Chains A and B, each alone.
Chain A
Amino acid sequence: MAEVVTMPKLGFDMDEGKLVRWVIPEGDPVEKGAVIAEIETDKATVEVESGYAGVMFRHLAEEDTALPVNAPIAVIADEGEEPSEDEIDSLVKEAGGEAPEKAPTKEDKPEEEAEEKEEKEETEEESVEEEDADVTPAGGVRSSPLARRMAEDHDIELKKIEGSGPQGRVVKKDVEDYLESMRQEGREEEAEAVERVLEPMPAFAPGEAPEDEVVEMSRLRQAIGKRMQNSNQNFPHFYLTRNYKTDQMMALRKDINQLLPEGEKISVNDFIVKAVALALRRYPNLNASIEDKTHIRRHGQVNVGVAVAVEGGLMTVVCKDADQKPVRLIAREVREMAIRARERKVKNEDIEGSTFSISNLGMYAIDNFAAIINPPEAAILAVGAVQKVPDVVDGEVVVASRMKATLSADHRVTDGAEAAEFMEVLADYLEEPMRLLL
């Protein structure tokens, strides 16, 4: 059982002492009666002895700080004991101090609640209930047992969820809404991963391995193979990866999607299509094909292909003149073409005439990858997942949203510097996505 050492009162008129030096560092064993620290009163420097044996688990005060008499200064634990933060908090509180890391402060909210109820409810019994409800919960997040269990099942930190219950209590609905918002924010992979947690993975039954299976390649499979082999073997690819800031894009998307009905929401990829199209307009050399051994054709139209996974392969549907279309129209076209592609009802014009392609595996939680150029195009952009990452802003670590994208470009058409500039311009659009709406 861990114990708390407090600032001793050395003399009847002492009301605070300055901790000058720690004698026993954290992690070292402590014997009962051992000197653990030196403190300075306005009269003298004196030694603080431990009343307990064990291990110096935690210094609660730094050297050279003045503390009132009886303020907790250290936690001494039994050997091998690892008190949790909650245990330490409650020990410190018991000892009359404040928790080292303050839980959210009690606000005036409970009063409001209580007043509301007062009219109806009458007995002293009631007031006790109200007071109980006012206790700040362990861990600093007020939540229902069900919400806690759901958060645990889904591996979500309760702190991230805004509570809608009384006094900000996180309840079932809030956890459900949070999961839903993860989907809305394009963190499908996160939400899906969470759902997968709920369904146990099938265990493989022991026994004999099945026989080998020889399957015929579909025509689509053969076509993909031929095309990709040709491209990868014959065209000199080079690759550039850039990490884009997506905080604004995610916020903008959330705002926009709140205005759009279900089924017409805009995906992260729709923004990327638009951004790529605008960037290509400025870098026509990447919106190009090899014409013959001595000529490059720079296309007048910007037609952005989007790779869609279909059963047994993939198809690239084409959003024509994407630089001239509003994002909402791009979203609708791509969505409709993708559905047709998956249902094998694709029209010829859906898959013809692309001048540049995008392959997005963000929904599969792929961080980053390199794609093979879709001939006769000059480049393809491979897009990874939007992720929450730590970022340093003004010397502080903050949570930021990032997305990696890798451009594969044909070295016969372009070079590293030009491609890098293209990626730079793409950043201007993706990182300040208002530009995409202008």
Chain B
Amino acid sequence: MARMTMREAISKALWEEMERDENVFIQGEEVGVWGGTYAVTKGFLDRFGEKRVRDTPIAEAAIVGSAIGAALVGLRPVAELMTINFAFAAMDHIVNEAPKLHYMFGGQFKLPLVIRAVSGGGRQLAATHSQTPDAIFAHFPGLKVVSPGTPADAKGLLKSAIRSDDPVLFIENATLYQAKGEVPEDEDYLEPIGKSKIQREGEDVTIVAYSKTVQLAMEAADMLAEDGIEAEIVDLRSLRPLDMEPVIESFKRTNRAVVAEEGWRGYGVGSEVSARIYELAFDYVDAPVKRVAQAEVPLPYNQRLEQLAIVQTEDIYNAAKEVIYG
């Protein structure tokens, strides 16, 4: 185990996978000479060369589209999108090509593609660059959508994504790059895609979270513990496939749940998770499931307004208190 930041954990996963398999290569805006917008690929160009660390034009459709082509002929591309907000420019490739090819050609092709994209708000990047639209990508069967909440999971899940023969959208939250945690140093450390994980145990209320809200939920759980309330935190880690088993198992004990996501509430992760709770554990429901999400507005640029709009630790804390009528 080594203590490191999420940034280092992701970088390490990429590095190790590129060392392990020469078919793995990365491409995206500023991944080479500049070392990545978030410095994830610093030093990669020197080590792996221009052929495997490819700076691209500002053309997301080309970044993803050419990566799909490379994957179809047997390479294992990792395409980086500077922010997930730019994924909309590559939407056809991401949701209409990548998830469908394996199916539409009767399994003749595999598509070992990873798209890394940076999501999340709170850094005063204004309405068009601060979105957390993770849920819309999870809508499409055929595309795996993964988003870790801890450095260890980031490493283990990214390595699994690169080794997967299916297209995976790997979403990193921009505010989590500095988050620290213990990370296994094993080069074959893999976390399974499509498995939720209990990040903290408790008996009073279930908090379902992923990505940034896992960190917020941990803080909220500390606050709740001071009030004598033990929260159980289930980290979804993958939005598709969505593993509800730990959620349901936990809910059957606590009978109360809060689902926290950074994106908008409507048609969101909380909507999906709470609907499944009602479907799978109706007889265990003791209070309506509470969804915590950002305000239904384009995110403001103004710092104070932006902070008011996005999910804070207190929102999760308050929601937990509300569902247990505490």
Contacts and interface: CB of A to CB of B under 8 A. Distances in A.
Please indicate whether A and B come from the same complex rather than being unrelated chains: yes
A245 to B, nearest CB: 37
B89 interface: no
Contacts of A105: none
Contacts of B296: 122-123, 125
Interface in B23-72: none
Nearest to A164: B325
A104 interface: no
Which of B286, B287, B295 lies at the interface centre, i.e. has the most chain A CB atoms within 10 A of its CB? B286
A144 B266 contact: no
B286 A147 contact: yes
Interface stretch (B181-189, B226-234, B277-285): B277-285
Given A166-B325, A171-B325, A146 B284 contact: yes
Contacts of A145: 282-286
B295 A122 contact: yes
Contacts of A149: 283-284
Interface string B66-80: 000000000000000
Interface string B258-287: 000000011000000000000000111111
A36 to B, nearest CB: 41
Given A122-B296, A172-B255, A144 B286 contact: yes
A123 B296 CA distance: 7
Contacts of A144: 255, 285-287
Interface string B286-305: 11000000011000000000
A145 B288 CA distance: 10
Contacts, number: 33
Nearest to B318: A120
Nearest to B319: A120
Contacts of A120: 318
Interface in A120-134: 120, 122-123, 125
Contacts of A122: 295-296
Interface residues of A, number: 14
Interface in B86-119: none
B318 to A, nearest CB: 8
A290 B295 CA distance: 88
A172 B324 CA distance: 10
Interface string A134-167: 0000000000111101000000000000001110
A149 B282 CA distance: 10
Nearest to B266: A125
Contacts of A125: 265-266, 296
Contacts of B266: 125
B283 A171 contact: no
Contacts of B287: 144, 165, 171
A399 B213 CA distance: 52
Contacts of B284: 145-146, 149
Contacts of A146: 255, 283-286
A147 B296 CA distance: 33
Contacts of B325: 164-166, 171
B286 A171 contact: yes
Contacts of B265: 125
Contacts of B285: 144-146
Nearest to A149: B283
Interface string A59-92: 0000000000000000000000000000000000
Nearest to A132: B288
Nearest to A144: B286
Contacts of A147: 286
Nearest to A166: B325
Nearest to A165: B325
Interface in A292-351: none
Nearest to A170: B286
In this complex, the member of A120, A146, A166 whose beta carbon has the largest number of chain B beta carbons within 10 angstroms is A146
A23 B296 CA distance: 61
A144 B287 CA distance: 6
A120 B291 CA distance: 13
A115 to B, nearest CB: 15
Nearest to A145: B285
Nearest to B254: A172
Interface string B308-326: 0000000000100000010
Contacts of B318: 120
A172 B295 contact: no
Nearest to A152: B283
Contacts of A166: 325
Contacts of A165: 287, 325
A312 B264 CA distance: 68
Contacts of B255: 144, 146, 172
Interface string A154-195: 000000000011100001100000000000000000000000
A228 B59 CA distance: 101
A250 to B, nearest CB: 29
A159 B314 CA distance: 36
A122 B318 CA distance: 16
Nearest to B315: A120
- Nearest first, the 4 closest Cβ-Cβ pairs linking A and B are A146-B286, A144-B286, A145-B285, A172-B286
20 contacts: A122-B296, A123-B296, A125-B265, A125-B266, A125-B296, A144-B255, A144-B285, A144-B286, A145-B282, A145-B283, A145-B284, A145-B285, A145-B286, A146-B255, A146-B283, A146-B284, A149-B283, A165-B287, A172-B255, A172-B286
Given A125-B296, A171-B286, 18 more contacts: A120-B318, A122-B295, A123-B296, A125-B265, A125-B266, A144-B255, A144-B285, A144-B286, A144-B287, A145-B285, A146-B283, A146-B285, A147-B286, A149-B283, A149-B284, A165-B287, A166-B325, A171-B287
Interface of A: 120, 122-123, 125, 144-147, 149, 164-166, 171-172
